[in-house]
Chain A
Amino acid sequence: MTTDSEPVIYTEGLTKRFGAFTAVRGISFAVERGEIFGFLGANGAGKTTAMRMLCGLSRPTAGIARVAGYDVARQPEQVKRCIGYMSQRFSLYGDLTVRENLKLYGGIYGMSRTHIRQKTAHVLQELRLDHEADKLVGDLPLGWKQKLAFSVAIFHEPQVVFLDEPTGGVDPLTRRRFWELIYGAAERGITVFVTTHYMDEAEYCDRVSIMVDGEIRALDTPRRLRQQFDAAGMDEVFRKLVRVRQAGA
């Protein structure tokens, strides 16, 4: 297990190759406990692949990655006990109700039935989903589905939660509400690892990394990145990095 001083996510030379194609090229970084860590990059930069390796869904080709003190390559099942995950694509059971999805995942993570009931009541109140508790999840609007997926991901109070583009396809107001949930989780001490391509969301993170072509090109707080790249906002930082890539190519 990790001590509080040890980074909750630690990678060194983490690499994933699919045949001749290298999706992630030896990335090294560390995420501290309680951080909201933004993982940025254009489509196809390797964000999702890197995240899937950290979650124990994909085996690294080379390099080391430790999550919550466990090696993702050798102890993927131990890693899975300590993390929550929300995939890019909605992946809760659409033919189960809100309550049933929460119960199922609570049960999978070994929570007792009483605990599940209490926690469910709490989550439904927090999401203001009391009236929809017994509706099928498939019938909810996208914004609610995303909030529910996030709540399921942190239902068992994991050490780290991985969010893969959690707010794709919804309006700015709904995104804003979603980020309130993220802050709430971070306040409870859950480390948040989030990929996004909305640059306004990058500003909400404690630190961000920017991936280009499978490599991490920049990693710092949003403020220092703006200074470093002499940019007014994160999207300018991002554009400058991508332009470097195009000039180099």
Chain B
Amino acid sequence: MLLFLIEKEFKQFLRNSFLPRMVVMMPLMMMLVLPWAANQEVRSLALCVVDHDESVSTHRLTERIVATDYFRLTCKAADYNEALQQVKRGEADIVLEFPVHFERDMQRGQHPVVYVATNAVDGTKGTIGSAYLTQILSLPLPGRQTAEAVLSPLSQQFRFNPHLDYKVFMVPAMMVMLLTLLAGYLPALNIVTEKERGTIEQMNVSPVGRLQFVMAKLLPFWAVGLFVMTLCLVLAALVYGLVPQGSIASIYVMAAVYILVVSGMGLVISNYSHTTQQAVLVMYFFTMILLLMSGLLTPVRSMPEWAQYISAANPLRYFVEAMRAIFLKGSTLADLNRQLTALLGFAVLFSVWAVFTYRKVE
């Protein structure tokens, strides 16, 4: 009986004029466009230099800063106040002030203080900008060995994503988002559509088992989800040259469990809904909250403590963690035991819930 039902679901899906196209187009769009656009990398910061020293060293340093993609020199100011005026007018984002006798002090081995002021209205821009600037300043000046000791009090190293390339960070996140949207919304719309068309009545009056009915709804979307995952992995490799550090198999294991979680959630919502609008809005409500609290866009650890507790009950969080860990750090399933267990728990919870909320008798 189950085979007949699954066959029916696949035929309906493939015959739909819209859904198969969406399942291909949405990953293409999101994978090709969004990692470039949804970018938190900071580039082309407007820099205003206040140079009280006007020495070879300060000129070299300024050149080196401007030579990167991150900064462009928009003005030179005579003093700090003038520079601040530029910031207020929006002509500059960041001010760099070299003190008088900078070169002399540096050669003497004293500690000249370089002053950096950033416009932190856009927090990310401010913090990342000043971090970049500090890093560039810390590099030794060629031919001036002494500078190394003076200007490099600490050294930073970005592990696993050495160039802080935002795409490397965003691509696994895009995969999570796509799986959530497609494997979540398609089932959410499915049962409720049968309710609206009245076709579910013919099912309810037949001896179809609740478990079989729900399985027949879950399995096709599971296949769709794995297809989307495959498409994403291929695109990531072809377009961004981004190959997972960990094993492909562990990505599929995680995805296979995660698809069941979101599809199950979609079916539960579909079972409770009477109309497609209702199902879509409720689904939207939950996916928004779950996505924003998953650590996908903002780190979980920087959330307030109460929010961190709530995010422990967020299946997305575990999948995001797992995907990033496998993709970027090369973690194995053994490393991600906690995430896998949590996801399995959610998968069972939502599937069972979906079976019990599907009512054949009013």
Contact = CB atoms under 8 A, between A and B. Distances in A.
Nearest to A94: B197
A100 B16 CA distance: 16
Contact of A96 (B8, B203, B208): B8
A153 to B, nearest CB: 9
Interface residues of B, number: 25
A108 B201 CA distance: 14
Interface in A55-113: 55-59, 76-77, 80-81, 83, 85, 87, 89-96, 100, 103-110
B16 to A, nearest CB: 7
A57 B200 CA distance: 11
A137 to B, nearest CB: 11
Contact of B4 (A56, A91, A95, A103): A103
Contacts of B11: 95-96, 100
A107 B203 CA distance: 12
A107 B4 CA distance: 6
A110 B1 contact: yes
B198 A87 contact: yes
Contact of A57 (B16, B198, B201, B208): B201
Given A58-B362, A95-B15, A108 B207 contact: yes
Interface in B173-227: 197-208
B121 interface: no
Contacts of B8: 93, 96, 100, 104
A91 B206 contact: no
A109 B5 CA distance: 12
B4 A90 contact: no
A244 B196 CA distance: 38
Interface residues of A, number: 31
A85 B4 contact: no
B118 to A, nearest CB: 58
A106 B1 CA distance: 9
B274 interface: no
Interface in B1-59: 1, 3-5, 7-8, 11-12, 15-16
B361 interface: yes
Nearest to A87: B201
Contacts of A81: 207
B199 A92 contact: yes
A231 to B, nearest CB: 35
B64 interface: no
Contact of B201 (A76, A91, A93): A91
B104 interface: no
B360 interface: yes
Contacts of A87: 198, 201-202, 205
Contacts of A91: 197-202
Nearest to A116: B4
Contact of A107 (B3, B198, B200): B3
B2 to A, nearest CB: 9
Given A87-B198, A93-B12, A107-B3, A57 B362 contact: yes
Contacts of A92: 199, 202
B198 A89 contact: yes
Given A56-B361, A77-B207, A81-B207, A104 B4 contact: yes
Task: Determine which residue in B4, B16, B362 has the highest number of CB atoms from chain A within 10 A of its CB, and name it.
Answer: B4
21 contacts: A56-B361, A57-B201, A59-B361, A76-B360, A87-B202, A91-B199, A91-B201, A91-B202, A92-B199, A93-B12, A95-B11, A95-B16, A96-B11, A96-B12, A104-B4, A104-B5, A107-B3, A107-B4, A108-B4, A108-B206, A108-B207
Given A77-B360, A87-B205, A96-B11, 16 more contacts: A56-B361, A57-B204, A76-B360, A87-B198, A87-B201, A87-B202, A91-B198, A91-B199, A91-B201, A93-B199, A96-B12, A104-B5, A105-B206, A107-B5, A108-B5, A110-B207
Interface of B: 1, 3-5, 7-8, 11-12, 15-16, 197-208, 360-362
Return the 6 tightest CB-CB contacts between A and B, nearest first: A107-B4, A85-B205, A91-B202, A89-B198, A91-B198, A81-B207
